Structure 1
């Protein structure tokens, strides 16, 4: 298409917008234009971010094993921090084991005390049964002449 053909308007495009939707669209376009006009002086022209490019890593020559002292300082610091954390975790674990052992000992003592108490109660119940049986035997012995036929 030529430029004059693009610039001429058709009769459908020349009619004014009508209706609430057209009014709303016109208002939005004015607000957008005003926002762009206000924002333009504040912002300097931004340069587009550089396109992402893959990093090329040159293959390294096989290195001879180095002594631990020649390791970078950052690695030594990381290693020291990991060792310190490991030592602290081991100390906490020992402390928790000690607490666990104490709790087990306390629980064992409580169970022994409870078992002793239950055994005492069972013994008392046995004594009461024995006494009951004795009284029942005595009652039967006393009642026996009452239920025997007379001659």
Structure 2
């Protein structure tokens, strides 16, 4: 490989974000390529012409300058941007989890209120049954009292 090609690959490798951001970026690039493929008009393949003119570069062509290697500052800025993006994603996920937690707490509180209401109704019903039982016991004693008295 030539020296500029080596430098280009290493800088591209250094700039690759990691973690959820990389997954997100990879998904976006797949969506973009799919959209471009869909947007490209489908034409039948054209037969190549039998003869094409040869293009000759001018003799005094100036050499192209190499792309400068990224400085430590640029690499740090890229890392900082990746961290900020990941931080925003984590904050969003945390906000969603708090929302779910609040919904779960509200549902649990409602279930507890319903359960308390049901338990209170059962306690009230039990007390009514006790009062009815006491009334029937008092009536039974009143009816049985003459049987046990001496005449």
TM-score w.r.t. the length of structure 2 is 0.52
Offset from partner CA, 1:85-133 (integer Å, 9 cap, x none): 1111111111101100000000000000000000001100000000000
Compare relative contact order (CA 8 Å, sep 6+) and give the higher one, 1 or 2: 2
| Structure 2 counterpart SS, 1:149 | coil
Runs (5+) with no aligned partner, structure 1 = 1-69
d(CA) in 2 for partners of 1:116, 1:82: 51
d(CA) in 1 for partners of 2:77, 2:150: 108
- Structure 2 residue 138 is matched with structure 1 residue 129: no
d(CA) in 2 for partners of 1:85, 1:72: 20
Q: How many residues are paired up?
A: 81
d(CA) in 2 for partners of 1:144, 1:121: 34
d(CA) in 2 for partners of 1:100, 1:74: 39
| Structure 2 counterpart SS, 1:72 | helix
Runs (5+) with no aligned partner, structure 2 = 1-70
- How far is the alpha carbon of 1:71 from its aligned partner? 6.3
d(CA) in 1 for partners of 2:116, 2:146: 46
Deviating runs (4+, > 6 A) in structure 1?
A: none
CA RMSD after TM alignment: 1.2
- Structure 2 residue 71 is matched with structure 1 residue 73: no
Name 2:114's counterpart in structure 1: 113
Name 2:100's counterpart in structure 1: 99
